[in-house]
Chain A
Amino acid sequence: MEPRRTSRTVSDPKVRQVGFFTSQHHHHHHHHLPERSFSEPPLPDPFHTSTSTSSAPVTDVSPSGNLLSPVMILPSRHHSDNLHRLSHRATSPTASFSYFARAVVVRENDDSLLSPGRRGIAVKSPSSVVAASSFPKEKAGGASVEVQNDRPAKSKPLKQKTSKAERRATQEAQRAAKAAAKAFFNLLLKLAVDLYSLAEGSKTSAAVPGPVNSANTKTAKSPKSPSQKNDAVSVAAAEKKAGDRQLEKDRKKDVPHPRMQYDDQSRVEKAKRRAVVKQTEARNRVELFRHLPQYEHGTQLPDLESKFFQLDPMHPAVYKVGLQYLSGDICGGNARCIAMLQAFQETIRSYSTPPEKSLVRDLTAKISSYVSFLNECRPLSISMGNAIRFLKSTIAKLPLSMSESEAKATLQADIDRFINEKIILADNVIVKHAVTKIRDGDVLLTYGASSAVEMVLLHAHELGKQFRVVVVDSRPKLEGQLLLRRLVGRGLGCTYTHINAVSYIMHEVTRVFLGASSILSNGTVYSRVGTACVAMAAHAFGVPVLVCCEAYKFHERVQLDSICFNELGDPDAISKVHGREEINYLDGSTNSENLQLLNLTYDATPSDYVSIVITDYGMVPPTSVPVIVREYRKEHLWI
């Protein structure tokens, strides 16, 4: 027991890294404090410590190390608690059934709150995977009775870890319960309840599930052994891991966060509770894309607007940008990224460190909350993720000795530099490179509206190159029209067509210029939906495909399809055509159970269909994107 405890505290930081945990405890603590203080007065100190330190993701060796194993999470307690609790129990010995029932409900609630966090751990640390995988089974019970039955079983092994006396007590209680069940199940039910709850009360805080336990002793017993085993496994793993923990931790920083899976009910519920933006989820979602968020369009905006003055933690600049994302006023990777960075700049300008807090930590936390707000408004693009990563690392690297005003000025200047170097100057370099690939007499095809491609075309025109542009567009956004207007306004010869005609128009095209939302490590171009179609058509016709993309949009992730990660747009946008009542055949049937509308926003173009990537580091083949990511990282560290 002793070695296990130490090892657990050693692997503590692992747990602390999981974002869900800290807020979990917050939530728990605040909402259920009254009940708990009544039902389990000697609240195990880990909870206290974790709530007090939760804002700091530091690796302090705290009792909450017990949290490593998912099985151990709930009533982690200490020897010292026992006496205390016992005495407290004594003062309120008449644990009435009704009270327990109420308490059980509360506990159940707690558990559903905690489970996402636990699952988060399972994803993060391989050592606890086994344990966690057994966990959903228990939870999957769903129906309250089953859950209640499971409860004591789950807490029992935990209790066994506490002390010999306790273990003996538990065993006795179990034996008693079993005997009772064997004999007159129904008759002795009440007795068993009392017996169990008494035994329970004498040693633990959770005590809660006592009464229901006897309802079905068998179920109560069965999950015990697996959980014990899991415990052993996770402990062994923890001991083994203790050595390279630091290394693991560093590596984990690099690992992208597990993405929120929106088909995971409990996590969605949890996230919703914290959400600022209240969104109604769309009903008939396509099965394959259930893991992505999809909301009824237009439900959030009024709600958000009304909240404008209530939400004090959100800086107005961030709020404004969030609303603009939501309403679609700002779109396009670069525009969104710049808007976000400028909003952050604004917040930093008006930021002052609260007393007894450090700027580095507090500001990082603030930025994180802004980011999650923006993410609720519209899922962040990969480029924005990179920019946020840059900002956070800049904040983290501020020397502690720096004064607040200095730090703020540095940060603002750094953001400015990022916007300038990584976006504006990068675009200029891209234009310079791309223009060399345009010859007189070319027919250039572009899809959607990429700001980089637009700059390339305009610059080539300014240089006096003679070429023609084919703008290919698609419903529902029709972004190409905007590009078309600007190009025609500058005197370029343009052809406008919809993507339906791309195979027809392609044979006269000599170059295809595409923009990208992001380019991933395997060279996959992640871009506006339809890009893959255009690239494949071009490939079939032997037309070179040039992708213009700033290097800050590169990401080390690898993606093979457009399903795992994508953004779902408003399904109404594809089912309705505004101003054309006579062809809106779907009116009235959009709520049908049998109809599932899928409005994807992005798609993934395999690197085979991309001839060249034009980036601020020059013209490279798509296979060299990881090389640049690597080099860019290095540069990132220097900044």
Chain B
Amino acid sequence: MWWRSPSFILDRQQQNDTASRNPESISLSSPPPSMADTLQNPNPNTSTSAYYQTRAVVTSDWLAQAQAAVGRHPDDDLPVNDERTKSAAGDAGKPFSVIDEFNSWRKQPDLAEAVAAIRALAAVIRASQATTMMELEIELKKASDSLKSWDTTSISLTAGCDLFIRYVTRTSALEYEDFNSAKSRLIERAEKFGEISCKARRIIAMLSQDFIFDGCTILVHGFSRVVLEVLKTAAQNKKLFRVFCTEGRPDGTGLRLSTELAKLDVPVKLLIDSAVAYSMDEVDMVFVGADGVVESGGIINMMGTYQVALVAHTMNKPVYVAAESYKFARLYPLDQKDMAPALRPIDFGVPIPSKVEVETSNLDYTPPQYLTLLFTDLGVLTPSVVSDELIQLYL
């Protein structure tokens, strides 16, 4: 089927180019030295719930594959350790603040907000002076609340904090231990959660490779680091594909993605947002990221995702969502207006008369029936499994 794709001829030409590029990509795929220690100790904590135990095992498994395949990634752990020592040193001087910690983590360009929050919360446990479990829990709750209030519109931030607290404090086994060992266990678990969250993107990129076939055309809406990672990995795996990027008004996210992809020598075409339906017949699949994955299995994402999904669904094109599992939120919007509005000023380039109302929402909700699959670090899921995972975690 792929050879009928209009992009195939184009990709054939590309093939010759990539052949010359091959040597360097081979050198890139050698595993970094630090891989070994991340692979050790896949499941040190035997008292975690069965749910996360299995997840953790699978995750480290995938991690190995992902790292072997991707290989070339700058090791996240090194800066992590730097930060850690830095923040530990900072602790001595001034009182600990989650927000500061969060901000210091956020400076890393590749680190998602939610992961930064998770790291910051882990630091809260570490720095805590609490002497009882209850105290620690309250402290943690307070910290997560202040993090959440930092950006109330960010779903992944809220969801990440909730999941962290849920994951870290969930289990009755903690009650039977003395406080110090319980606390060290919490820290251990928090580290693990942070680690899983960090690696999530690579796992997703790994999982999605089976779905990108040679000669395919991928439509991408918005700038998503996960989607970029997916496409990057595909390019590294010498897959031949081209990408259509929507412009992504008002903040030009598509422009950003297209420049990133151009750097990777992936053929890119920019579309204005309203040209989605026009070019959909050339498209083989739609890839989008997500701000949040809600309980229905639908996603909340940048404005325009819903209409892209609708058009794709009407034209029977698969819509794939790449999202880390810490974006799973216990929300259930029934329609577009059933969400806390995230507003963003829009620059139209010309003055708008005050009588004209402007729709400034930044997010829309795509119902699950328009999504084909979700690529998450828990695996490739159908939308209905999201609720399954959430129920198991929160019940």
Chain A contacts to B: CB under 8 angstroms: 437, 439, 511, 544, 546, 611-612, 617-621, 623-624, 627-628, 631
Contact = CB atoms under 8 A, between A and B. Distances in A.
A617 B395 contact: yes
B343 interface: no
24 contacts: A437-B334, A439-B337, A511-B334, A544-B334, A544-B335, A611-B296, A612-B332, A612-B334, A617-B391, A617-B395, A618-B330, A619-B332, A620-B387, A620-B391, A621-B295, A621-B296, A621-B384, A623-B297, A623-B384, A624-B387, A624-B391, A627-B392, A631-B391, A631-B392
Interface in B346-393: 368, 384, 387-388, 391-392
Contacts of B392: 627, 631
Contact of A624 (B334, B335, B384): B384
A621 B334 contact: no
A248 B392 CA distance: 28
Given A617-B391, A623-B297, A628-B391, 4 more contacts: A437-B334, A611-B296, A612-B332, A624-B391
A442 B280 CA distance: 36
Contacts of A437: 334, 338
B394 A618 contact: yes
Nearest to B330: A618
**What is the predominant secondary structure among interface residues of chain B facing chain A?**
loop
A249 B330 CA distance: 39
Contacts of A628: 391
Nearest to B389: A627
Contacts of B384: 621, 623-624
A624 B335 CA distance: 19
Nearest to A614: B332
Contacts of B395: 617, 631
Contact of A620 (B295, B337, B338): B295
A498 B117 CA distance: 53
Nearest to A634: B395
A619 B295 CA distance: 8
Contacts of B295: 618-621
Interface string B316-349: 0000000000000010101101100000000000
Query: Quick one: which of B296, B337, B387 has the most chain A CB within 10 A?
Result: B387
A623 B387 contact: yes
Task: Please name the 9 residue pairs, one residue from A and one from B, whose CB atoms are nearest each other, closest first.
Answer: A623-B384, A624-B387, A544-B334, A619-B332, A627-B388, A621-B296, A627-B391, A620-B387, A621-B387
Contacts of A511: 334
Contacts of B332: 612, 619-621
A214 B168 CA distance: 83
A95 B39 CA distance: 89
Nearest to A545: B334
Contacts of A544: 334-335
A15 to B, nearest CB: 38
B170 to A, nearest CB: 15
Given A623-B384, A624-B384, A611 B391 contact: no
B394 A621 contact: no
Contacts of A624: 384, 387-388, 391
A439 B337 CA distance: 10
A546 B387 contact: no
B108 to A, nearest CB: 34
Interface in B130-172: none
A511 B387 CA distance: 22
Contact of B334 (A546, A618, A623): A546
Interface in B18-72: none
Contacts of A611: 296, 334
A409 to B, nearest CB: 28
A618 B162 CA distance: 16
A156 B76 CA distance: 83
A546 B335 CA distance: 12
Interface string B292-308: 00011100000000000
Nearest to A542: B335
Given A621-B384, A627-B388, A631-B395, A612 B330 contact: no
A623 B367 CA distance: 14
Contacts of A439: 337-338
Contacts of A619: 295, 332
B119 to A, nearest CB: 28
The listed residue with most A CB atoms (<10 A of its CB), out of B295, B334, B335, B394, is B334
A628 B392 CA distance: 9
**Most B Cβ at <10 Å: residue of A511, A546, A618:** A618
Contacts of A618: 295, 330, 391, 394
Nearest to B298: A621
Contacts of B394: 618
Contacts of B297: 621, 623
Contact of A627 (B330, B337, B387): B387
Interface in B148-202: none
B368 A621 contact: yes
B6 to A, nearest CB: 35
Nearest to A631: B395
Contacts of A617: 391, 395
A42 B395 CA distance: 62
A430 to B, nearest CB: 13
Nearest to A623: B384
A97 B194 CA distance: 91
Contacts of B337: 439
Contacts of B334: 437, 511, 544, 546, 611-612
A611 B368 CA distance: 10
A253 B391 CA distance: 26
A544 B387 CA distance: 18
Q: Which of A439, A511, A546, A623 has the most CB of B within 10 A?
A: A623
Contacts of A631: 391-392, 395
Contacts of B338: 437, 439
Nearest to A511: B334
A479 B325 CA distance: 45
Contacts of A546: 334
Nearest to B297: A621
A453 to B, nearest CB: 16
B390 to A, nearest CB: 8
A446 to B, nearest CB: 16
